[in-house]
Amino acid sequence: MNCIINRRAQFSASHRYWLPELSVGENNQRFGACTRAPGHGHNYVLYVSMVGELDEYGMVLNLSDVKHIIKREVTSQLDFSYLNEAWQEFDQTLPTTENIARVIWKRLAPHLPLVRIQLFEHPDLWSNYYGNNMEAYLTISTHFSAAHRLARPDLSYEENCEIYGKCARPNGHGHNYHLEVTIKGEIDPRTGMIADLVAFQKAVDDYVVEPFDHTFLNKDVAYFADVVPTAEHIAIHIRDLLCGPIQEIGAQLYKVKLIESPNNSCEVYCTEPEKMSSVAQVREATLVG
């Protein structure tokens, strides 16, 4: 039986986005505050996903061995380091979140049966890498607060209550929506980026957060005049709003995840969800200890 296991690790490090072939003004325009010398730091959180057959002891791998491999190959070298100078891979390609994840894969792949590297630079910014050359995934998370009412205009109040329950009450109700937007693309061999992170964040803010925040969706967002603003419909509309702007910044929108409450969320894709491998349907075990 195959099983995917996930091992968590962490390290603290600093880095700087700066290309010597660009002028000060060009660096500032491209990288903003990330150009400031001598750099800035993060508490990185790393998840290493591995796959294998269960052995006679009920394990895919000995976690003590996994822990020591990750420490030896990655965290002992990166913890409290200046990433630009820590590894030779960062001499030519900047240590962005997505590129660090790619290089960590390269360092661990000879030792572990990897299926994914997930690296959090911040709780609101992370990258997934699946070993596919220079292709990587980058996710930002944000939020907006809005009210809505779930009711179809062609149905009576009683019929809507039958379908939507309390959500059909005439004055609506509100949520603090949590939004995760994932893009995919090729890592630029010089900048280390899938796309300009500032432009990515601006697209999400301009097309979603600003128009949706502190609104009554049914009345303030034209799309929902005729569409019931369920979490599913909201996520689909956000996907449709962002596909074009994300293409304009040189990436592809991959996934939109909308968390309406701790108990209710949905995900929509620009294409059919990609399978990580033939083991995508086996159970996942998260091992943190």
Active centre residues (catalytic):
167, 214, 260
Beta bridge partners of 45: 10, 120
CA 126 – CA 136 distance, rounded (Å) = 11
Phi, psi dihedral angles at 109 (to 5 degrees):
-55, -35
| Torsion-angle region of 32 (φ positive above 0: left; ψ -120 to 50: alpha; else: beta) | left
CA 88 – CA 228 distance, rounded (Å) = 53
**Burial category of 117 from C-beta neighbours within 10 Å (exposed 0-12, middle 13-18, buried 19 and up):** buried
Residue with tokens 């779930």: 150
Contact indicator for 186, 99 with CB cutoff of 8 Å:
no
DSSP 129-147: E-S-TTEEEEEEEEEEEEE
Q: How many CB atoms lie within 10 A of CB 214?
A: 11
CA 274 – CA 128 distance, rounded (Å) = 13
3-state secondary structure of 10: strand
Which of 81, 60, 78, 80 has its CA nearest to residue 70? Answer: 78
Rounded (5°) CA angle 52-55-58: 100
The percent of the chain in helix, strand and coil, each rounded to the nearest 5, is 35, 35, 35
